Amino acid sequence: MTTAAILCPGPSLAETCDAARLAEFHHTIAVNRAIDHLRTQWLVAGDAHTLYRINQMPSVGVVTFGDVIRDPGMLPPWISRQRREALTWREWLDIPTFPPHANTWGSVTALALALDLGADEIHFFGCDLRGNTEFDGQVAHPSIADRSAERWQRERTDLQNAIAQTIPRARIYDHSNPQTP
């Protein structure tokens, strides 16, 4: 069995996953700022402004939009050329994903990456899919990301559809707390 942990930046992340728990998994993937809670092997962050909000890079690779990969000038200055060259960079749309249009969400792309890496048991942490507050109490500014109830419902629906398509290939566990404000 090959296991993967997907860390999303929801408020429950800090209480549901620590370094000891993360060490249990073969593959570790952070979505957006979740990498600032625990350093993972992979980071799924769609756009350059998200990379400006993080404080560390993963140990193996980054999945992001193609324009960020093709134009290193879009990356924050602290991500040096040496750091860039030490990582594997994969284009968001090149990760085999789920129809229809589900690859617009980090959680769904992280699930697709876990499957692409060969995971057959996948655990979600901090995937609360609600509110504006992240795991460390920071509030995402509305100009950066739409955190409306409608937006979360769209992602929740696409993630549930992707999980339904995943069930034959992998077991999915959600350790998130959707009741966290």
* Backbone angles phi and psi of 68, in degrees to 5: -70, -40
Contact 12, 128 (CB under 8 A): yes
pTM, two decimals, is 0.93
Q: What is the CA radius of gyration of the chain?
A: 15
Report percent pLDDT > 90 for the chain. 57
pLDDT in tens, 63-79: 999 999 999 888 888 88
Identity at 141, one-letter amino acid code: H
Q: How is residue 153 written in tokens? A: 């419902």
pLDDT of residue 181: 41
pLDDT of residue 180: 44
pLDDT in tens, 117-139: 999 999 999 999 988 889 999 88
How far is the C-alpha of 113 from the C-alpha of 93, rounded, in Å? Answer: 11
How far is the C-alpha of 85 from the C-alpha of 69, rounded, in Å? Answer: 11
Q: Residues of the chain whose pLDDT is less than 70? A: 99-103, 141-145, 178-181
